Amino acid sequence: MNGHLAIVGLGPGDVAMLTPHAQVVLAAASDLVGYGPYLDRVPPNPAQQRHPSDNRAEIARAQLALALAAEGRRVAVVSGGDPGAFGMASAVFEAIERGPAAWRALEIEVIPGISAMFAVAARLGAPLGHDFCAISLSDNLKPWPVVQRRLLAAAEAGFVIALYNPASRARSWQLGEAFAMLRTILPPETPVVFARAVSRPDERVEMVRLDTAGAGRADMRTLVLIGSAAMRRIERPDGAPWLYAPRSVAAPT
């Protein structure tokens, strides 16, 4: 079995943030598999076949890619940001575990990309300079009570929190409930950043206080970054303030 499957992170959107390694792997593929809008970010190549699919078809997409690779093809599955951060890498390995034994003999390569939380952090200063976590607010693949417990635990532990998948047309209430829970733990002045389409032409980054944060500012293209009580803010004479998380933490009293 000579097939090859690469799971490629496309980064946050700007082609300048696509790694050289990813560019080489994408150019060498015979087949590209992925969510349609992500495939549109890859330059056309008439020598390649494209296999677009719907956003919620992760396992079916992974199975198709594995089947093509098993035929001896050189396949690239594209994933926004980093494929290992709420991306296609886990879907591919889940399909391998549940699929034919022959898939385990395939050559599989994961090509990292710049995750949205790192692109957003770079716009703000250094908000991830100390301990942080990433939580998907979607309850499509896990129960909402699990999301609640993780949010509360992260806030109580002092983590900076990056929220992926904060809202969609079908999920309009979770973010508001998340803010309400966090207000019971974090100070009202805690910074909340709504970063939409970072690195793309329609980029929008807004910073508000937790006590005024509203869910209507977010959609599925938005990453929400919630500071910790230790977050520091540096005002600037011109432009938005810088945020940073100190690298040292005082011992509890």
Residue-level pLDDT, tens digit, the chain, 253 residues: 578 999 999 999 999 999 999 999 999 999 999 999 999 999 999 999 999 998 878 999 999 999 999 999 999 999 999 999 999 999 999 999 999 999 999 999 999 999 999 999 999 999 999 999 999 998 888 999 999 999 999 999 999 999 999 988 777 789 999 999 999 999 999 999 999 999 999 999 999 999 999 999 999 899 999 999 899 999 999 888 999 999 887 777 6
User: Domain with 240 in it: what CATH number?
Assistant: 3.30.950.10
Tokens of 75: 């396949």
Judge if 44 and 85 occupy the same domain: yes
245 close to 230: Cβ distance less than 8 angstroms: yes
- DSSP H or E stretch at residue 90: helix 88-98
Q: What is the pLDDT of residue 140?
A: 84
Q: What is the pLDDT of residue 171?
A: 79
E strand map for 88-177: 107-111, 125-126, 132-136, 160-164
Residue 207, domain extent:
117-244
Tokens of 160: 């900076």
* pTM of the predicted model as reported, rounded to 2 decimal places: 0.92
Q: What is the pLDDT of residue 172?
A: 79
| Residue listed under structure tokens 């979770």 | 174
User: Domain with 94 in it: what CATH number?
Assistant: 3.40.1010.10
Separation between Cα atoms, residue 84 and residue 110, nearest integer Å: 8
Q: What is the pLDDT of residue 224?
A: 98
Burial 161-197 (b: 16+ CB within 10 A, else e): bbbbbbbbeebeebbeebbeebeeebeeebbbbbbbb
Tens-digit pLDDT profile for residues 141-155: 899 999 999 999 999
74 close to 108: Cβ distance less than 8 angstroms: no
| Residue listed under structure tokens 């050559």 | 107
Domain count, the chain: 2
Residue 133's CB is within 10 A of a number of other CB atoms, namely 17
Tens-digit pLDDT profile for residues 111-121: 999 999 999 99
Q: What is the pLDDT of residue 253?
A: 64
Judge if 109 and 123 occupy the same domain: no
Q: What is the pLDDT of residue 1?
A: 56
Judge if 124 and 79 occupy the same domain: no
Which one, of 115, 72, 69, lies nearest residue 95 by Cα? 69
Sequence-distant (≥ 6) Cβ neighbours of residue 230 within 8 angstroms: 130, 158, 245, 246, 249
